[in-house]
Amino acid sequence: MDRIKKIIFFTTFAFFFLIILIMPKLVFVSDIIIIEENEIFDGNNKIYYWTGEGNCSQDEGMPPMFIMQENSILKNIYILNAPDGIHINGNDVIINNIVNLNVCEDAVSTPKEPFYKNIKITNSIFWHCEDKGLQFNNGDYFFIENNKFINCSQPIRLPKKSENYVLKNNFMSGVGSGYYLK
């Protein structure tokens, strides 16, 4: 019986210790976060957990966790449980050092119109994207370097008309297909 009490004590202690470590780094998000023009959003390596509308289905039109405007930067962040991850709505956008965990639809995407350019995604991890990791419906001048795509249905989808892109040092494992020009 003493052994069982010790196991319960240490299990309880470990659980509360983890809670103390994780809770300060956990941010619950119920509404879309808009990163305005010329803004730098530094997540300070916190975990942003979606609690808002939407579901983890393949339905189109799910809300993103972030919308990035012209000349904005998103960096140092963990994204968890987002129906749709990041929508890019502007030119000259930088995404650096983000970790996407369990993104249900597309982790990063652009709309079909208008035409955006100079999108840079570096040093990031896309883990278990049920659909696409990077879904670029339109645009050109993409720079995608030093990213990891793990268990993503389709890691990177580039527009058919895109002629200027750099895909460099990206690692893929457990993916359905690599690069796809639609």
Sequential DSSP letters for the chain: -HHHHHHHHHHHHHHHHHHHHHGGGEEEE-SPEEE-TT-EEEEEEEEEEE-SS--SSS-TTPPEEEEEETT-EEEEEEEES-SEEEEEESSSEEEEEEEEES-SS-SEEE-SSS--EEEEEES-EEE--SSEEEEESS-EEEEEES-EEES-SEEEEE-TT---EEEES-EEES-S-SEEE-
pLDDT tens digit sequence for 19-45: 566 666 889 999 999 999 999 999 999
Domain count across the chain: 1
pLDDT tens digit sequence for 143-182: 999 999 988 888 888 888 888 999 999 998 888 765 655 4
Is residue 115 a part of any domain in this protein? yes
Is residue 53 a part of any domain in this protein? yes
Q: What is the CATH number of the domain that holds 158?
A: 2.160.20.10
**pTM (global) more than 0.95:** no
Mean pLDDT of all residues in the chain? 86
Is residue 13 a part of any domain in this protein? no
Is residue 102 a part of any domain in this protein? yes
Q: The domain containing residue 85 runs over which residues? A: 27-181
pLDDT over 80 at 13, yes or no:
no
Is residue 79 a part of any domain in this protein? yes
Is residue 42 a part of any domain in this protein? yes
